[in-house]
Chains A and B, each alone.
Chain A
C-alpha cells in the first residue's frame, strides 16, 4: 500500500462544476503539499499545509491531521484548470517527500 493515496485517479467535469480531489496518507507528516502539473512537466506549488485550511483564488485546501486526510477543492472550474494535481507529504523527522500518484483533471467547456 502506498503511503500517499489520491482519489480519484481521473476526473472529468464540465466547466463551472465544483471539484474535490482527496489525499489520504498513512505516515506522520510535518507538512502536506498540493502541486499542479501541466502537460510538458512543469510543476507549480499550490499550497503547503500543516493544519487547517488555506484559500487562494478559486482553490481551497484543507487538512485533517487526526484523520490523515487532505482535500483540494476548485470552485467554478475552468478548462485552464485541466492538469494533474499531486499531493505530497513531508515525512515527519525526515527530509523525504512522498508523492501520491496524481489526479488527472479534465474540465470540458
Chain B
C-alpha cells in the first residue's frame, strides 16, 4: 500500500477550464515532485517543492503552478486547460538529503481534457 495518496483518481474537464490535483506525501517526506505522463510516454518533470518553496522546474508554462503546505501535502494547479494537457499526473515524495532518497509515487490522477 503506497504512502502517497492522490486525488481525484480520474477527472474530465473541458478546454479553458482550471483543475486542481492533490497529493498527500508519505509521512516524514518533506519534498514532493509532480510529473506529467502522456499516454505511451515516460513521465516528464513538472516541478518540485521543498519546505513550501519551488526548488526545481521542468519545461512547463506558468499556467502549471503548485503549492506545498506546512504538512507537506501539495497541489498542482493547471489553468486554461488545453487538449494536450490530457495525461496521467503523478506526484512523488522523498525525504530531502536522506542517504537513500527513494521516491514514493502516488497512483496518479488521470485528467482528460475535452
User: Which residue numbers of A lie inside 8 Å of B, CB to CB?
Assistant: 31, 33, 35, 40-45, 48, 86, 88, 94-102
Contacts and interface: CB of A to CB of B under 8 A. Distances in A.
Contacts of B108: 41-43
A96 B58 CA distance: 7
B100 A48 contact: yes
B113 interface: no
Secondary structure call for the A interface: strand
Contacts, number: 57
B38 to A, nearest CB: 11
Given A41-B37, A41-B107, A41-B110, A97 B101 contact: no
Contacts of B92: 43
26 contacts: A35-B103, A41-B37, A41-B90, A41-B107, A41-B110, A42-B105, A42-B107, A43-B90, A43-B105, A45-B102, A45-B104, A48-B100, A48-B102, A86-B42, A88-B42, A95-B33, A95-B56, A97-B33, A97-B35, A99-B42, A99-B43, A99-B44, A99-B45, A100-B42, A101-B42, A102-B42
